[in-house]
Amino acid sequence: MTLSGRDAYRDELTRLAATDPAVLCLEADLGGKGHPFQSAHPDRFFNLGIAEGAMIDMATGLAVAGYKPFVSTFAPFAALRAAESLKLTLGYLAAGVTVVAPYAGVSGAWFGTTHHCLEDFAVLRSIPGVTIAAPYGEADMRAVIREAVRSGRPHYIRTGRNAAYTSLGREGAELPPVNWEHPGDAGATCLVSVGEEGTRLALSARELRPESAHAHLTYLDHDHLASAAADLSRRHSRFVVVEEHRREGGVAEALALLLPQCEVTGVNAGHGWPVLGGDHHEVMAQLGLDLPAVLSALEPLDPTRV
């Protein structure tokens, strides 16, 4: 059985902490009861209560003193409420703090807009020096957590709620800038998938349009995207980026700037505010982020409409 992103995070961090005494786990009352890290390493687990800003800034103090704090709270509270702390800690100070943010996108679904976060890439990508990842599947998440512990660099890691996704295959233990799930033929339109639901939709679209290529991106900060863009443009020239994020500040926008010679379009959460209930996929559909939208984007542009 594959684990959800946040369960994989908790399990991998707990495992790594057994051999790295500098690893600490901080929560802001959203880690749930029975956190495996708390059970395995109670002296290094801190539930600081509902205090996201204080949690990230205290993690800064811990990191400067030599520890490797991993903090976790829902994406809207990490990326938006505590945005200034992230700017100062992850960016300016480059402190070795890792922020793991579940409930990204609209994975909070019927919990409502307060628990959605479609703006985190825009915030974090504008802060230089932060490694940004949106893993798909358990293996991806484990690899990202291992790298965060190994490198000690500031990380922002986005994941969803409780959904579990079957990992994509890849060669080697390290995550490449581009994971070519299906390289496709020259001239094919290439789906570029971002995050859990963006990748699910891209995989579904490719089943129906097997002539399409598919590239998955796990790391989304500027440096990684620059490497990915070079790799992408060596194989293809038309891309459809699928991401559970606003258009502004998202990955499609970044790739369009990095690939001026290519055609880059996006399927994203647009500008709407989902005000109705529903499950995760239903709320995404309210935003126009669904399989028909991806299939439509794969169709060649009608030159008479350009």
Partner 1 sequence: MTTLLDLGTPLAERAVQARKLVIDMAASPRGCHLGGSLSVLDILIAALHRASLDDGTQVVLSKGHAAAGLYAALHVSGILPENPAPLYGQLGHPYTGHPGPKVPGVLFPTGSLGHGVPYAAGWALAQRLGGRGGLGIAVAGDGELQEGLVWETCQVAAAQQLGNFVLVVDRNGGQNDGLVQDISPLPNLAARFAAFGFDTAEVDGHDLTALCALLSDDRSSARRPLAVIADTVKGKGVPAVEGKAGSHYVTIDAARAAKWKRMIR
Using the rule CB under 8 A, is 49 a contact of partner 1? yes
Please tell me whether residue 60 binds partner 1 under the rule CB under 8 A: yes
- Burial class of 300 by CB neighbour count within 10 A (0 to 12, 13 to 18, 19+): exposed
- Distance between CA atoms of residues 8 and 139, nearest Å: 8
Of 53 and 270, the one with the shorter C-beta distance to partner 1 is 53
What are the Cα distances from residue 217, in Å, to 22, 97, 160, 187? 29, 22, 16, 20
Chosen residue from 3, 23, 62, 259 binding partner 1 by CB under 8 A:
62
Which of 8, 13, 55, 192 touches partner 1 by CB under 8 A?
Answer: 55
Cβ–Cβ under 8 Å, residues 133 and 96: no
Q: Amino acid letter at 178?
A: V
User: Residues binding partner 1: what is the number (CB under 8 A)?
Assistant: 26
Using CB under 8 A, pick the residue from 64, 226, 230, 257 that binds partner 1: 64
Rounded-to-integer distance, Cα 99 and Cα 15, Å? 18
By CB under 8 A, is residue 46 in contact with partner 1? yes
Cβ closest to partner 1, residue 85 vs residue 218:
85
Choose between 29 and 185: whose C-beta lies nearer to partner 1.
Answer: 29
Of 80, 93, 122, 295, which lies in the binding site for partner 1, with binding defined by CB under 8 A?
93
Binding partner 1 by CB under 8 A: which of 92, 257, 272, 292? 92
42 binds partner 1 (CB under 8 A): no
Q: What is the DSSP letter of 284?
A: H
Binding piece for partner 1, criterion CB under 8 A, among 34-42, 49-57, 227-235, 265-273? 49-57
Name the nearest CA neighbour of 9 among 88, 73, 100, 113: 100
Residue 152 is a binding residue for partner 1 (CB under 8 A)? no
Residue among 94 and 295 whose Cβ is closer to partner 1: 94
Q: Are strands 213-217 and 179-182 parallel, antiparallel or unpaired?
A: antiparallel
Q: Can you say whether residue 255 is alpha, beta or left, with left for phi > 0 and alpha for psi between -120 and 50 degrees?
A: alpha
First-to-last C-alpha distance (Å) of the chain: 47
H-type alpha helices, 26-87? 36-40, 52-64, 75, 83-86
If the CB atoms of residues 85 and 189 are measured against partner 1, the closer one turns out to be 85
* 129 forms part of the interface with partner 1 (CB under 8 A): no
> Which one of residues 1, 65, 186, 306 is an interface residue with partner 1 (CB under 8 A)?
65
Asked if residue 156 lies in contact with residue 132, where contact means CB atoms within 8 angstroms, the answer is yes
- In the complex, the smallest distance separating the C-beta of residue 52 from partner 1, rounded to whole angstroms, is 9
Interaction with partner 1 in 1-30: which residues (CB under 8 A)?
A: 24
> Is residue 84 at the binding interface for partner 1, with CB under 8 A as the rule?
yes
Binding site residues, partner 1, CB under 8 A: 24, 43-44, 46, 48-49, 51, 53-55, 57-67, 84-85, 88, 92-93
